[in-house]
Structure 1
Amino acid sequence: MENVRIGGVPEHFNLPIHLAIENGWFESENINLKWQDFPGGSGYMKEALRNEDMDMCILLTEGIVTDILKGNSSKIVSGHVKTSLTWGIHTRTDETKIDSSSFFDKNIAISRYGSGSHLMPIVHAMMQDQSIEEKQLVEVSDIHGGISSLEQGRADIFYWEKFTTKPFVENGKLKKIGEFISPWPCFMIAATDKMITERAQTLSILLKIIHRANQHFMDLNDAPTLVAERYNLNIKDAERWYHATEWSVNGWVSNKMLEGVLYSLKEAGIVHADCTTQGIIWERNARK
């Protein structure tokens, strides 16, 4: 049995893989897929890939593109979720002066530098001809740290996936004041260069199983019920999320899409103007 370490956020987007693990799909191909949750998001996963603590991770597109361009010895090996991520924009529940058009000068909670909760406010501000300075950013580790930072007044705004935070909005821990939809597919699968170089055949088999699991999940009649039960969502929210989400079943990654990501990252000053998309994608799954 070959061990492969993979990480991702403990959110509903990765349920197809958990179901495949539970159903023994990887074991049947002699792969022991060892899952690790990363509640802190892409910032922590990028470091795990850099340190080779993980062989693979499922990260936000903008996060892994940025980190590969900054020296992470990994590549995108497959798409995972083809639809965009809808970020909820949140503040403390007793806040009355901040709305969705008046917060780019406020303190913003981020899970970690380089995470989606860090990059998305910057890209959002750029698209509104605004800007965010580094002194406005408050590092909070994860969703629970973000909620605490708002309650304590250390931060004013917190971006996080809207269905994940909805239970906290409903129980009065957060107040949602707006949404921002990322302008590209939200999740990619990345693997270390070591995994790609030394275990390419295993990687190919593993990705085929993930793609099959994604198709199976999209064909599953009771998928919204499973999502609601496992991720503390009401059934109507689970249905809305499920029917608005599409997973990758072939792994192809468009270079045109990555060019769009890179343009935004350059415009926002997150990566150097000379950066290109060369070397970001495992060429086996690249598409023009």
Structure 2
Amino acid sequence: MAPLRVGYVREHFSSPLLQFEAVDKGNTFTLVECPSGTGQLISRLTNDEIDIAVALTDPLIAGIAKGSTAYKLVGSYVSTPLNWAVITGKETAYTSIQDLQNTKLGISRHGSGSQTMAYVMALQQGWPTDSLQFQVNNDIAGLIASVNDGSTSAFMWEWFTTKPFVDAGQARFIGSVPTPWPSWMIAAHPSPGRAPKEAVKTFLQGLTKYINSFNSEAGRAGANQEFIKEKFGYPLEDIEAWLLTVGYPDDCAVIPGDVIRNTLEVLQKAGAIQTPSSGGYQLEQFVDTEVANLS
């Protein structure tokens, strides 16, 4: 059996996954980096370039709600919210989120977390969501270039991932918007030919082991900090601050039904998805219950 192709974003959140991969050494899975984020992960699932994706909760759920059959949810990855920074150029006139109304926002891809959270930001600000304007800039480099050349006003990305660029004077923070849901989930293609159920279960069991170690008090106090510093080059103070905010599930193969319900409710209010004519969504359409436990 060929190893599972697991798509991921190379950020500090992926540390337990990277620790697992270092020991597995490609025997049961290989990692496929997707630097453009969840929009790229979903695209690669659709195009048979990966079998599993570790991706942001909201775009995954929104994609299924809009009719995608390229994947179903099979697990949970990060159980705490993601703090999305709102970032503008180093010399722009924007000083707060309120200044961004009726401007063009940068996103990595359509259907990405950067776009979904723009809808959430608009909902919080009381802006009409149907008038939001977007420009696709692919990755963090393109997004930073766009806010500095004036083609976009701002973009949204995870706080600690963008902090090194802000510290280097390439961009500025003007606010933040935490997600109203746990931030990361795991999805897999539903075809057994692409992602055999037992292989996915084995992957989730192995990942749970590394997550539990990473999430332990001992791991947070020592090994985690050194691993993140070596892999990502973050200052120790940023690593310590992030570790105080992040939490992981006890079992990756358990998906709380309330996470799906609450995410759908916010996405509907934000105008990111439409309520189906039948009057509601069925949780089973989102989860591969042959793999995951829907609680």
With the shorter chain as reference, the TM-score category is over 0.9
Return closer, same or farther for 1:97/1:163 CA change in 2, 3 Å cut-off: closer
Q: 1:260 aligns with which of 246, 259, 262?
A: 262
| Contact 2:120/2:267 (<8 A) preserved | yes
Deviation by residue 1:121-165 (Cα, 9 ceiling, x = unmatched): 111211222134566201000110000101111001110000000
CA RMSD of aligned residues (A): 1.8
Q: 2:51 aligns with which of 48, 55, 61?
A: 55
Structure 1 residues 136-145 or 266-275, which shifts more?
A: 266-275
Other-structure match for 1:224:
225
1:206 partner amino acid: F
| Contact 1:255/1:286 (<8 A) preserved | no
1:44 partner amino acid: Q
Q: Which runs of 4+ in 1 moved over 6 A?
A: none
Following TM superposition, by how much is the alpha carbon of 1:229 offset from its aligned partner in structure 2, in angstroms? 2.5
Unaligned runs of 5+ in 1: none
Unaligned runs of 5+ in 2: none
Structure 1 residues 96-105 or 38-47, which shifts more?
A: 96-105
Other-structure match for 1:44:
40
Q: 1:271 aligns with which of 270, 273, 291?
A: 273
2:13 partner amino acid: F
| Contact 2:102/2:131 (<8 A) preserved | no
1:263 partner amino acid: E
1:87 partner amino acid: W
| Contact 1:26/1:206 (<8 A) preserved | no
Deviation by residue 1:143-191 (Cα, 9 ceiling, x = unmatched): 1000010111100111000000000000011100111100000000000
| Contact 2:118/2:156 (<8 A) preserved | yes
1:14 partner amino acid: S
After TM superposition, the structure 1 = structure 2 runs for residues 151-166 of structure 1, keeping only pairs within 5 Å, are 151-166=148-163
| Contact 1:90/1:175 (<8 A) preserved | yes
- Partner Cα distance (1:123, 1:85) in 2: 13
- Partner Cα distance (2:272, 2:104) in 1: 18
| Contact 1:196/1:203 (<8 A) preserved | no
| Contact 1:105/1:132 (<8 A) preserved | no
| Contact 2:7/2:53 (<8 A) preserved | yes
Return closer, same or farther for 1:211/1:17 CA change in 2, 3 Å cut-off: same
Does 1:120 find its partner at 2:156? no
Following TM superposition, by how much is the alpha carbon of 1:197 offset from its aligned partner in structure 2, in angstroms? 8.2
Following TM superposition, by how much is the alpha carbon of 1:210 offset from its aligned partner in structure 2, in angstroms? 0.5
- Partner Cα distance (1:135, 1:271) in 2: 14
Deviation by residue 1:86-125 (Cα, 9 ceiling, x = unmatched): 0110101112343132213221000000000011011121
Does 1:215 find its partner at 2:212? yes
- Partner Cα distance (1:128, 1:267) in 2: 13
| Contact 2:129/2:271 (<8 A) preserved | no
| Contact 2:256/2:294 (<8 A) preserved | yes
Q: 1:287 aligns with which of 272, 281, 294?
A: 294
Could you tell me the TM-score, scaled by structure 2's length? Answer: 0.91
Other-structure match for 1:9:
9
| Contact 1:122/1:131 (<8 A) preserved | no
